[in-house]
Structure 1
Amino acid sequence: MMQAGAVLLLCAALLLIAGRNCDICPAVREDVYLFVRGTPEEYIAKVKEYNTNSAIVANARRLKDRVDEKLTEEDKQNAFSVLVGQAVSLC
């Protein structure tokens, strides 16, 4: 299950790589970092910058809570490292 989550994050980020410059947009990198490694408050604040729909914010909070509950610190670091490393290796 944890590998599936890491792959999902990777695929989502790869879709957002702009211009084949082999770097993830800094805003996307920050969003993914906050989702995987940030605090719930930091992540929800970032979500609210883009969308104030209460249902979306509630779902984002549930997803973040689940990530924090299920993934170990090592899993979180690996997911972020794979995301960043994979984007660079596409060049």
Structure 2
Amino acid sequence: MKLAGAVVILGAALLLLTSGGDCGICPAIKEDVRLFLNGTSEEYVEYVKQYKDDPVILENTAKIKQCVDSTLTEEDKIHATTFIEKIEASPIC
């Protein structure tokens, strides 16, 4: 897995750790991750815009999304999604 894939998984793990201890990810974060990994740049920027309508942030959001899309393979994205699903399904949570 490439560095960007590791960063996505690390980010997902951090989201889970900050979710209040029950391993549940709120629906807004789930949608954010879904669009970040599998949506188009336009879809992702529009989603982020709901929460922060700042031109600089939106420009950087588009750049990060384009970087992820050009760096992560479909396999990397599937692994990251599967990782999140396995953590949520874990009986330890």
What TM-score comes out, normalization by structure 1 length? 0.85
Identical amino acids, percent of aligned pairs: 41
Distance 1:3 1:54 in 2: 27
Asked if the contact 2:41/2:66 (under 8 Å) is kept, the reply is yes
Cα distance, 1:78 vs structure 2: 1.0
Report the count of equivalent residues: 90
Distance 2:14 2:39 in 1: 18
- Per mean C-alpha deviation after superposition, the further-off stretch among 64-73 and 6-15 is 6-15
User: What is the RMSD of the two structures over their aligned residues, measured on CA atoms?
Assistant: 1.7
* 9, 12, 16: which one aligns with 1:14: 16
Q: Which runs of 5+ in 2 are unaligned?
A: none
Distance 2:52 2:5 in 1: 28
Counterpart position of 1:83: 84
Cα distance, 1:83 vs structure 2: 1.6
1:81 alignment partner AA:
T
Residue 50 of structure 2 aligns to a residue whose secondary structure is helix
Distance 2:61 2:78 in 1: 20
1:28 alignment partner AA:
I
Q: Which runs of 5+ in 1 are unaligned?
A: none
Distance 1:18 1:47 in 2: 23
Runs of 4+ in 1 over 6 A off after TM superposition: none
